[in-house]
Structure 1
């Protein structure tokens, strides 16, 4: 049986979440996840996790997505670091985590649209969830892309480190438009604007 929860409400699962993220993104610094202990259940940033709960055994994280503030455009949320346990990819858990994150953004945060940044190879997955390519470069997030799969934290111009997270942006690297050629930004309206 699996359940969706804010990681903050289950601090006992931070190590399990760290293992999942490292299995997908080996370059991820473990220290970053320790900072998740200070995240909120009802605000930004927030990690939502899919927990595999077996009877008489401790739960383990089998899915993750991070919810971040997107001040521009207004009433928007930014999703990052969606990952599913490799042995369960293709079983519908990614869709389940995305739907939960969207519901959280609308019902808990009162937001109307969502953005994400992904490889072109994942465009079909997100398109099936009604995300469309967003070609403008004016999006701004707070603390986005800290869990990237790159040797340095990758961010687009205009992204701002969340207060207290500045040290996580190694070398101060911010991606240029050329760096993003294999990546796309996608948007979905979660409610009618």
Structure 2
């Protein structure tokens, strides 16, 4: 038998003998602590405070409206775009504020808010710009759908709304670029095309003849001639043998030959076009 001073035996006695464990006695106050007790408000289960999932908008209730017609939705639209492409909020709001009927024009895909009287929910956004030297074409940019609603048909609904909007205003072709959504746009009827130049600023007061002059290549400048020395008052040379004339100036360097006409070859797997950052992009277009 181990000695009486063995600490293990004393520990066993303290554990098994409830008379030596006063701290294990249940306080009567524990019976008063319920989930609705004021002493523990964090434990209160209030059904009104339970998080609820945002209902998925009904595709049949979606509408398309220009952002300049709904200025109260500017902030929500800027948040939606910055969720995909972070940018200065002031810069984003300034860009959206340039939307007008004369283009560029920012369109929003809107869903009615489930709460009566609340503003609609911005589901998607796209920007339309005029195309240089193509009066019947529009360039589609900044296409984005709310991250939580992707993969549910809202992207298709947004593109269909863009086509209907453009067609109702007399346009017959849409152009766009993409990095990794080729199959999505191909499924909507878009095919590979050639690059176009979007107009950042347009006005109905500018005649079509002026706009059509921009894409033309500038006329080649004639080679510069050597400066004439007859018109300058050169100092009189001393008498003596004539100095031989200087050698003729070298011929001006000719520019590189222009690239072959027509779009560069590209496929759904490879393209020779790049954006301003050097990333490969695919140009696509569709007749509407």
Count of residues paired in the alignment: 155
Find the aligned partners of 1:31 and 1:9 in 2 and give their Cα distance: 20
Identify the residue that residue 65 of structure 2 maps to in structure 1.
Answer: 5
Q: 1:32 to 1:127 in 2, by over 3 A?
A: same
Structure 1 spans left out of the alignment, 5+ residues? 145-157, 159-175
SS in 2 for 1:75: strand
State whether residues 273 and 280 of structure 2, in contact with CA within 8 Å, keep that contact through their aligned partners in structure 1.
no
Which one of the candidate residues 68, 86, 98 is aligned to 2:159? 98
Name whichever of 31-40 and 60-69 sits farther off: 31-40
Alignment of 1:1-193 (within 5 A): 1-27=61-87, 30-40=90-100, 42-54=101-113, 55-56=115-116, 57-108=118-169, 110-119=170-179, 121-134=180-193, 136-137=194-195, 139-143=196-200, 177-179=273-275, 182-190=280-288
Find the aligned partners of 1:128 and 1:186 in 2 and give their Cα distance: 12
Q: 1:28 to 1:186 in 2, by over 3 A?
A: farther
The structure carrying a bigger strand percent of its residues is 1
Greater RCO (CA < 8 Å, at least 6 residues apart)? 1
TM-score (norm 1): 0.72
Determine which structure has more spread, i.e. the larger CA radius of gyration. Answer: 2
1:133-156 CA-partner distances (Å, limit 9, x unpaired): 11x34x111129xxxxxxxxxxxx
TM-score (norm 2): 0.50
Q: 1:73 to 1:28 in 2, by over 3 A?
A: farther
Identify the residue that residue 153 of structure 1 maps to in structure 2.
Answer: none
- Once the two structures are TM-superposed, the CA of residue 67 in structure 1 deviates from its matched residue by 0.6
